[in-house]
Each structure stands twice: as C-alpha cells, then as structure tokens.
Amino acid sequence: MPDTQVHLLWKTLEPVKSSEGLSLLPTMTFEQCPALDVLCVPGGAIGQVEMMRDEEVLNFLRQQGETAKFITSVCTGSLILVAAGLLQGYRAACHWAFRDQLAMLGVEVRTERIVIDRNRITGGGVTAGIDFGLLVAAKLVGEETAKVIQLVLEYNPAPPFDAGSPETAGEAIVEKFNQMGRPLQTVSLAQTRQTADRFAWVYPSN
C-alpha cells in the first residue's frame, strides 16, 4: 500500500520460528515500537496458545490498543486479542473450529468471513486474511487503491471444491478435520478456560 509502513513486532530482533518451521524476522521490538495506526494480530497453532498466556505480549497489545485507530486480527488471533482484554463485548470472527472458544470469552461470535464492530476488524480462518487485508486497505487508502491491489494479486477465487466451511464440507470431511485438529483444540481449550478463569467468566462445563 502507498504511504504505509509494516512492521513485524516481537520482544527481540532474533528470528522467530513458526510452528511449521518458517523463520520470521522481526523488524522492530515492542520497546522500539511507536504508536500504531493499525494493530494486527495473526492466528496460528501452538503459538496462539502460548501468546494467550504471555503477559509481555498481552501488555504490549493493551498499550497499543489504547491509541490504535484499528484493532484487528485474523484467524485465531482474535483469541489473543480477547486474552488482552481488547475484544470483550464486540462482535468478532475467527477460524470456525474455535468459535465456541471465542464465545466463552465474552465475544459475540459471528460466522461472516470479516466482521467490523466499531474500530475492531476481525477475519475468519487463513484465506479470509486476503479479504480482510483488502478491506483494511480500503479503509486506509481508499477503495480504488484496494481494487488495484486485488488486481495485482489476481485475487479472483474459484476453488475446485465447495468444502471451505463446515456447512458445505459435509460430516465426513468435518470429522477428518476434527481428528487432525483435536490435539491443538484440546490445548487451546485448556488455555481458553484458564483465560476465562482469569477474567472470572463462566464457561460451559463441557
């Protein structure tokens, strides 16, 4: 986008290895970071769970959230935002498999790919990040420029299968997903319950 600067932020400038083994190089530390116009928290696998209990991360998000023009997330990043106390009482989206957990934390969970509630903009899982990015671009630099970005990306999705949501994928595919994702969901649920306890919210016994 024109006239914008993007930073990858972390505690140090040392490379951060993702859960899939990809090394990410921070461009600025939390301490060096100025007030941000847009605060964006991505989702992930076990890293999302770890950040939900990392007070240094949560304190940084709270501090930036006080002045940011937009507070945003994609996928399970919304769980991190709510752990920082930045999403309670808002409508929000996240990856479909974690909607129940988000609802446990005082969020009005929606099924749309992108949800805007005041200055909170949240996206669903993974590919919703493209829709999310274009919408944020439109708010920052205008719809026409956002359309140019869409064209540059040749973003004209036509998936070969209609299995991009649990409603269209069918029970058999959803069950296969659940088998694959159960270990992560179990760990995430345990952390969500700890977060709920920390905020003194009541969560379902199951």
Catalytic residue IDs: 75
Q: Which residues contact 164 (CB under 8 A, 6 or more apart)?
A: 127
Q: Is residue 119 within 8 Å of 69, Cβ to Cβ?
A: yes
Phi-psi group of 106: left, alpha or beta (phi > 0 → left; psi -120 to 50 → alpha; rest → beta): left
Sequential DSSP letters for the chain:
-TT-----EESSSS-EE-TTS-EE--SEETTT----SEEEE---SHHHHHHHT-HHHHHHHHHHHTT-SEEEEETTHHHHHHHTTSSTTSEE---GGGHHHHHTTT-EE--SSEEEETTEEEE-STTHHHHHHHHHHHHHH-HHHHHHHHHHHT-----SSS-SSHHHH-HHHHHHHHHHHHHHHHHHHHHHHHHHHHTT------
